[in-house]
Amino acid sequence: MFTCRKELEELMGLKHPRKVLIEEASEAPRAAERFFRGIYSEPEKLRRSLGELQKETNTILELLGFRRSRLREWQNELPSAAREAQDYIKESSMELIARHERASLAEARVLKMLQEQEVVELFPVEEEVLGRWSPDRIVLFPSVIEKIALLLKLSNDGLTKVILVHFMAHELIQAGEDRDKRTWGRKDLAGEGVETLVHYYSNLFYRCCQYKELGLIESALVKYLPAAGRDGRQLQDLSREQVSAAMIFWRRQANLSLKEVLAYLDEFS
């Protein structure tokens, strides 16, 4: 299993007091069922286009059926007039070409619609469908991760590692001890502040440990996660030391938001 705990602890200035057990669940949670069904942004329009393609396909098969019967008759008993047979073969061939062209256009419309179907209909991806964590345990859902990797055209192995880093950052922020042996002192267990810091430290981990590919996967995945915490611009101009100080102070406060802590930091820096 990919390990990232030690590096994250060093980057975040936090240390988990216990061993964290990492497991993979054999079954997907009920909340992930939608990822295994076909969900389309315009299902009725797609059904109509499929119906048109079926209709055009049927006209080709119908003409081919008549043509096959006629040719079989002539094979058993040659046509009474050669010109009649010649005209029929030419006309039916031209009609086949015309019907095939119509079917090709209908097929192109269907393929275009299938290609344009936005997987955003399946999103945002809530964390609980990827896995779950408690203070000393992380459980991943491999079947869901594999399906999302397929939908987003990402490496399954890479996405699994990114999600593990994501959960481990959560673990450390909310269960790790700082240098003063202080732990989580807030009332809220989730929200924008947590996600902002998780994404910040995840990306810092990829940069410092030279996991470029995982950083790219993280950037692709974050677009489909809930909006809270996506915007990390408030941390961009801060040094690692400033972010660490803000994070440690913020963890100890029951009610102050991360934005408020950063505002205080900016005011007195």
pLDDT in tens, 156-208: 999 999 999 999 999 999 889 999 999 888 877 667 788 889 999 999 999 99
The two structure tokens encoding residue 174: 């909310």
pLDDT on residue 263: 82
Q: Is 131 exposed, middle or buried (0-12, 13-18, 19+ CB in 10 A)?
A: buried
Give the contacts of 217 (CB within 8 A, at least 6 positions apart): 154, 155, 158, 159, 162
Section 6-13 average pLDDT: 92
Domains of the chain, residue spans: 5-21+122-268, 43-117
Which tokens in the block code for residue 75?
């094979």
Per-residue tokens: 212:
């470029």
Any idea which residue has 């295994």 for tokens?
Answer: 36
Look at 175 and 43; give whichever has higher pLDDT.
175
- Shortest CA distance to 133 belongs to which of 215, 22, 269? 22
Arithmetic mean of pLDDT over the chain: 86
Residue with the larger pLDDT of the pair 155 and 26: 155
Contact (CB, 8 A) for 136 and 175: yes
Rg over CA atoms, the chain: 30
